[in-house]
Structure 1
Amino acid sequence: MKTITIRLPDVEAAMLVEVQKVNKAYRDLQGLLVSQIQQEYSKTPAARAKSQA
C-alpha cells in the first residue's frame, strides 16, 4: 500500500470544503483519486495489452 500526503494552501483547503458540500465524490478523496487512476490506467498501452490477452 502506498501512502500519499496532500498539502493544500489555506485558500484551496477552503475551496475543497465548499466543493465537498455540493459534490459527493469529493467527500471521499481517496476513492476519487483511485477512480481517476483506474480511468487513466485503462487508457495506457499496458492496460490495453492486458485486456486483449
Structure 2
Amino acid sequence: MNKAIKVTVLVLGVLLVLNGVLNIIDDSRVLTYDITTILAGLGFILLSQWKNK
C-alpha cells in the first residue's frame, strides 16, 4: 500500500473513532451509530497498519 494511502486511511480511522467518542460524550448515551462509527474507525486504523509482504 502506498504511504500516502496509508496516512489517509489512518487519518480517516482516527476521525471516525473521534466522531463516535465525541458523539457519545455529547449525547450522554450510546447509540448503534456510535458503536458502528467507532468499530469502523478501528477497522480503518488496523487496515492502515497492515503490512504487505
Q: TM-score range by the shorter chain?
A: 0.3 to 0.5
Structure with larger RCO (C-alpha < 8 A, sep 6+): 2
**TM-score normalised according to structure 2 size:** 0.35
State which structure, 1 or 2, has the greater radius of gyration over its C-alpha atoms: 1
Higher helix share: 2
**TM-score normalised according to structure 1 size:** 0.35
